[in-house]
Amino acid sequence: MSSEMDVQRNVDSGSYEAVVDGEVVGMIVYHAPRGDQRVTFSHTIVDPGHRGQGIATGLVKHALDDLRARDLKLTNYCTFVADYIADHPEYKDLVDGRFPGRATVPDRAPRER
């Protein structure tokens, strides 16, 4: 990635946004009911012109680190997030055991990075 990426949590739109050169180029859409200790990720989107630059990976890492910092659990419906967690098992504990979502984390050895 040639430009610096900034990730921001946008509470109003319910998304984590990847911003490059002042432009939102990717996002993770989430739902966080008020007072709930669980956040639901529905999907990850990256602008086609910015794919292959590590934006989605950076978004997921930032979002999962934010959940951990805020002591929240994850219900996941995004296959990209599930694959990221499979490759980074240190985040597996964030997945809510009672409500894991439909995009389950594959039970496999992490892929080489």
CA dihedral 23, 83, 70, 39 (to 10 degrees): 90
Is residue 55 a contact partner of residue 5, using CB atoms and an 8 Å limit? Answer: yes
Task: Report CA-CA distances (Å) from 50 to 1, 14, 97.
Answer: 9, 21, 34
pLDDT for residue 35: 80
Q: What are phi and psi of 93, to 5 degrees?
A: -65, -15
Sheet containing 73-76: give its strands across.
5-10, 15-20, 23-31, 38-46, 73-76
pLDDT for residue 2: 52
pLDDT for residue 1: 45
Q: What is the pLDDT of residues 30-89, one digit of tens each?
A: 999 888 899 999 999 999 999 999 999 999 999 999 999 999 999 999 999 999 999 999
pLDDT score of 111 more than 90: no
Is residue 39 a contact partner of residue 28, using CB atoms and an 8 Å limit? Answer: no
Is residue 42 a contact partner of residue 60, using CB atoms and an 8 Å limit? Answer: no
